Amino acid sequence: MCGIVGYIGSREAYPILINGLRRLEYRGYDSAGVALVDGSGSLNVFKCKGKVADLEKFTEGKDISGTVGIAHTRWATHGEPNDVNAHPHYSGSGNIAMIHNGIIENYSVVREALSEHGFTFRSATDTEVLVQLIEYIRDSNQCSLLEAVRTALKQVVGAYAIVVVEKDNPDEVIAARKSSPLVVGIGDGEYFLASDATPIVEYTDKVVYVGDGEIAHIRRGGELKIVNLDNEESEIDIRKLELSINQLEKGGYPHFMLKEIHEQPRTIVDCTRGRISPDGRDVILSGVIANKDKFLGARRIIIVACGTSWHAALIGERAIEEMCRIPVEVEYSSEFRYKNPVLSPDDVVIAISQSGETADTLAAVELARGAGAFIFGICNVVGSSIARATDSGAYIHVGPEIGVASTKAFTGQVTVLTMLALALAKEKGTIDRAKFETVARGLLDMPALIDKVLAQDEKIRDLSKIFTYAHNFIYLGRGYNYPAALEGALKLKEISYIHAEGYPAAEMKHGPIALIDSEMPVVAIAPDDQIYEKTVSNIQEIKARNGKIIAVVSEGNTAIHSMADYCIEVPATPECLSPIVVSVPLQLLAYYIAVNKGRDVDQPRNLAKSVTVE
C-alpha cells in the first residue's frame, strides 16, 4: 500500500528518497513522486504514474537538489492512478507539499468548504484537500506550520500518516499519524521518516515510532519533538531496530517470493528457537504463560485476521479446540469490526497479522479493547501497530517478508498457533504427554521435512508448465488441510491471476462438482490422516468426471498414484502440522505458474503488502 519516505539533514535528499522508495516497492503501488526543498527557497515536485524507475527517468536533467525532501509511492484509493493524483500534493500557492497514507473520510465536506473560499483543486484526492486546508489555516491564522497542521488534523476524520514540508522553510519537517504507521529514524544530525523501517535501516538503527494521534516536529540539527493534537508534549522513546540490510536483499534468487519459500527451514528454526525444549518435552511461549489465567479462564477465543493470516487462524482454531477443548471462533477482521460482536471481558481475542498494520485487524483489536477482552497478537513486524496495540503476544520471527504473497509468514503463524495450543493444553491438562511430545518434536523436525519438499523444486517447476494456460483451478482439502486448500488457491490467484477456489473436498458434491470437466485442474491435498479414506473417495468423484488431479500425498503412498494425473509427495507429520508441509509445494506451484505467465510475482497487480486502509 502507499509508502512514505522523508529526509532532513546535511546530505542531498534525492538519492536517499529514491533508495527509500525502492525499499518500499514491495508494499504495492501504482505511482510515485518526490518533493525537494532547497535552501534558495524553491520547492520542486516531481511525480508520475508507474514505477520508481519511471520517476527516476522523469527527473533526469531536472533540478533535484535539496537537503530536505519527501517521497511517496501511492496505491490509489481516491482517484485513478495517474500523474495528477500521485503524491506529493501541494497547496494552491505551491508553498506547502505533503505526502499522505490513509484516507480522509470527510474530505468532500472540507473540499466543499474550501471551494466556498475560492480554492480550486487539481486532483481527485483527499490528500490535496488536506494540504490546501493546512495552507488556508496557516495563512488565515498567521500561525506556524506545526500549528497549522495540528489545527487541520483536528478538523479531519479518518486515517493518516502525513509528512509536510514548506518552500520557505527548509529547516523544518512536520509529520503526523493516526491509524497508519510512521517511523522517525535518528541519524547523526539528520532525520529519516518512513511508513515502515525498511528505508531507514541502512542509515540508522535508532528509531522512534510516532504514536497514534501524535505529531513529530523535526528541525534541522535540533531535537525531535513530539506533541499530541492538543499540543501536549510526549516523551521520546528511542528504540533499536532489529533489522539488517541483508534481510532486505534477494540473496541471488530471482524473486523475493522464491527466496522466502526457500527460507522456511530456517524461519521455522527462528520461530521455535528457545520456545520448544530440545527434547520436545516443553513449550514455553512467555506471553501465553504469563497470561495463562486469561486464556484458561476464557469463555471462548476469537481469532481475527485477513487473507493468509485468516487461513492460519482456521488451522489455529482446529489445533486449540482439539488440544485445549476451548471454543474458538475465527472472524474476518473486516466483518467482525462492523457486526456489533458479542464480546465480554472473559473473551480472549487473538489478532494475527504479518505486517501488524492491517487496518481492519487493528480496528478489530480496538473494538475488543473497548469490550475489555484480553488481546493477544501474533505478528511478524516487530514494533508494528498491532503488536503495540495488543496486551501481549508472540512474534513469528520469520524476518522481513517482502513478496506480496505471504509464504514464510503463513508457516510461521501456524507454528506459533500450534505452540500456543500445546502450551495451553499442557497447562490445562487436556493433552497426553505422548501426543504433546509428538507434536512438539514434529515442529523441531519440520525444517528437515521442508528441506525434503524444497528438493522437489525442479519437479514442481516442470509440473507448472503443464498448467500455465489453465483458466481455473480448484483446491481441495479436509480437516487441517481445508485451510491449506484455501491458502493454495489464494497463492495461485494473487500472483498468476488464474481464477482458483479452495473447498472442503466433501462439499464438492453440493454444487461445485458441476464445474469439473477435463479442462479443470484439481489440486487434492490428501496426506495420510484420519480422514484420508474419505478424501480418496472425494478424489474418485473428481476422477469420474475427468478432472485433472494433482494430488499432494504422503511419501510412499501408492494408492493415489493410480488415480491422480500427477503426484507430489510430502513427508509424514503429525496431522496438525501437515498444513505446513503441504503448503510449500503449493507455494512453489503458484510461483512457477506465475513466472511462466510472466507475472510480476513480487508485486502483483492491484495488491499491497500492507493493507493500511479498510
For the annotated catalytic residues, the residue numbers are: 2, 609
Least Å distance, CB 565 to ligand M6R, is 27
Least Å distance, CB 369 to ligand M6R, is 18
Strands annotated E in 200-279: 206-209, 214-219, 225-228, 239-240
Nearer to ligand M6R, 35 or 312 (CB): 312
Interface region with ligand M6R, contact rule CB under 6 A, candidates 266-274, 364-372, 399-407, 516-524:
399-407
DSSP 8-state class, residue 27: G
Nearer to ligand M6R, 308 or 481 (CB): 308
Instruction: Please tell me whether residue 405 binds ligand M6R under the rule CB under 6 A.
Output: yes
Q: Where are the alpha helices (DSSP H) in 142-263?
A: 145-155, 256-262
Residue type, 79: G
The residue count for binding ligand M6R (CB under 6 A) is 16
Nearer to ligand M6R, 68 or 312 (CB): 312
Least Å distance, CB 406 to ligand M6R, is 4
Least Å distance, CB 542 to ligand M6R, is 26
Question: What strands lie across the sheet with 158-166, from one edge to the other?
Answer: 89-90, 96-104, 158-166, 172-178, 214-219, 225-228
Least Å distance, CB 307 to ligand M6R, is 2
DSSP 8-state class, residue 276: B
Instruction: Please tell me whether residue 91 binds ligand M6R under the rule CB under 6 A.
Output: no
All cell numbers assigned to 588: 512453489
Give 488's contacts (C-beta < 8 A, 6+ positions apart).
475, 500, 502, 523, 525, 582, 583, 586, 589, 590
Nearer to ligand M6R, 449 or 490 (CB): 490
Site for ligand M6R in 549-608 (CB under 6 A): 607
Among 30, 166, 172, 494, binds ligand M6R (CB under 6 A): 494
Closest chain position to ligand M6R (CB): 307
Euclidean distance between CA atoms 182 and 157, whole angstroms:
18
Instruction: Please tell me whether residue 358 binds ligand M6R under the rule CB under 6 A.
Output: yes
Run of H or E including 441: helix 433-454
For 220, phi then psi, to 5°, come to -55, 125
Among 55, 313, 404, 513, binds ligand M6R (CB under 6 A): 404
Nearer to ligand M6R, 28 or 185 (CB): 28
Site for ligand M6R in 286-345 (CB under 6 A): 306-309
Euclidean distance between CA atoms 157 and 113, whole angstroms:
15
Among 169, 361, 390, 603, binds ligand M6R (CB under 6 A): 361
Nearer to ligand M6R, 132 or 358 (CB): 358
Residue type, 208: V
DSSP string, 443-479: HHHHHHHHHHHHTTHHHHHHHHHHHTT-SEEEEEE-T
Among 31, 125, 334, 355, binds ligand M6R (CB under 6 A): 355
Instruction: Please tell me whether residue 353 binds ligand M6R under the rule CB under 6 A.
Output: yes
- On whether the CB atoms of residues 417 and 316 are closer than 8 A, the answer is yes
Q: Which residue has the cell 534558495?
A: 40
Least Å distance, CB 155 to ligand M6R, is 30
Nearer to ligand M6R, 353 or 535 (CB): 353
Residue type, 441: R
Cis peptide before 512 (omega within 30 of 0): no
Instruction: Please tell me whether residue 73 binds ligand M6R under the rule CB under 6 A.
Output: no
All cell numbers assigned to 327: 471454543
- On whether the CB atoms of residues 133 and 34 are closer than 8 A, the answer is no
All cell numbers assigned to 126: 483527499
Least Å distance, CB 344 to ligand M6R, is 25
Interface region with ligand M6R, contact rule CB under 6 A, candidates 216-224, 401-409, 447-455, 563-571:
401-409
All cell numbers assigned to 451: 528441506
Site for ligand M6R in 137-166 (CB under 6 A): none
Interface region with ligand M6R, contact rule CB under 6 A, candidates 404-412, 448-456, 558-566, 579-587:
404-412
Least Å distance, CB 290 to ligand M6R, is 24
Counting Cβ atoms within 10 Å, is residue 420 exposed (0-12), middle (13-18) or buried (19+)? buried
Binding site for ligand M6R (CB under 6 A): 306-309, 353-355, 358, 361, 404-406, 490, 494, 607, 611
